[in-house]
A and B are shown apart, each in its own frame.
Chain A
Amino acid sequence: MSITVNKKTVDYVKEETVQALLKRLRFTFPLVIVKINGNHVPRKDFKTVTIPDHADIRVIHMISGG
């Protein structure tokens, strides 16, 4: 029972939301783009969307500057 986050293996937690996962992995930076199995999850859905087992998750920080 595991998921991958940015290509690293992480324990799967049943019914964990995106928000809870980000908190668990200490992604304190709030401005992130999240994809689960290639599907984009908008920030407004972080509290409701749950992570499925074996999910491949990508978390990208957006950092100011341009």
Chain B
Amino acid sequence: MNDDNEIKQQRQKYIATALSNKKVGIAGAGGLGSNAAIALARSGIIKFVIVDFDTIEQSNLNRQYYFLSQIGQKKVRALENNIKNINPEVSCILLQEKLMAGSMWKPFTDVDIIIEALDHAETKTQFIEEVLTHLPKIPIVAASGVAGYGQSDRIRTIKTGNLHMVYDKEALSSDEDVLLAPKVCLMANWQANIALELLLGESI
């Protein structure tokens, strides 16, 4: 029992040290980005680059990691506050701007891993293309098919080179189906879980 405890403590220490040196890029601070960032901050990531142009609306609260008191605030600023309420040691580089085609990859040149957490299919596709083209060595963890509820077992991870896609290929788009906390958070945390595995090496 004591040996087990010691091994576990060493493992926790290793994880904390390893993650404290890593910088994570979050492209979009909506349902995917806010929840993935919180999960990664709780795990021990202390350096983030977060990009989002948007402000918080009441309709976001059914799935995004924000609170009533934050309505009207910039998402990047509110997310930083929420992360710091979990761990005040965290430092975030915040970019309150819209990612524009052609330069979407530029905020992420010095991160260890990128979480794609954008909303529109066109923006997602363009962003992934730019990262694969301009930052081929940086792993990108993306998600596609987050709308709807139930059908959790349809979700899979597709890995091809440095692209890791959390994917429900049967899902409807958010123009045709609802966005709700369980599935959005599931896929955001799935992204965070892949990020941990990539940053730490495979789990036991």
Contacts and interface: CB of A to CB of B under 8 A. Distances in A.
Interface of A: 31-33, 35, 38, 40, 42-43, 58, 60-66
A43 B129 CA distance: 8
Contacts of A58: 158, 160
Interface string B154-180: 000010110101011101111101010
Contacts of B177: 65
- Among A33, A40, A62, which residue has the most Cβ atoms of chain B within 10 A? A62
- Among A33, A35, A60, A66, which residue has the most Cβ atoms of chain B within 10 A? A66
B121 A33 contact: no
B174 A40 contact: no
A31 B161 contact: no
B32 A63 contact: no
Nearest to B32: A66
Contacts of B119: 64-66
Given A58-B158, A60-B169, 7 more contacts: A40-B163, A42-B129, A43-B125, A60-B160, A65-B171, A66-B118, A66-B119
B173 A63 contact: yes
A63 B165 CA distance: 12
Given A40-B129, A58-B160, A60-B165, A66 B30 contact: yes
B173 A65 contact: yes
B167 A60 contact: yes
A33 B132 CA distance: 10
A38 B125 contact: no
B25 interface: no
A61 B132 CA distance: 16
22 contacts: A31-B121, A31-B122, A31-B124, A31-B125, A33-B163, A35-B160, A40-B133, A43-B129, A60-B160, A61-B169, A62-B122, A63-B144, A63-B171, A63-B173, A64-B124, A65-B119, A65-B147, A65-B174, A65-B179, A66-B28, A66-B33, A66-B118
Interface in B121-162: 121-122, 124-125, 128-129, 132-133, 143-147, 158, 160-161
B120 interface: yes
B56 to A, nearest CB: 15
A61 B158 CA distance: 12
B31 to A, nearest CB: 6
B113 interface: no
B97 to A, nearest CB: 17
Contacts of B144: 60-63
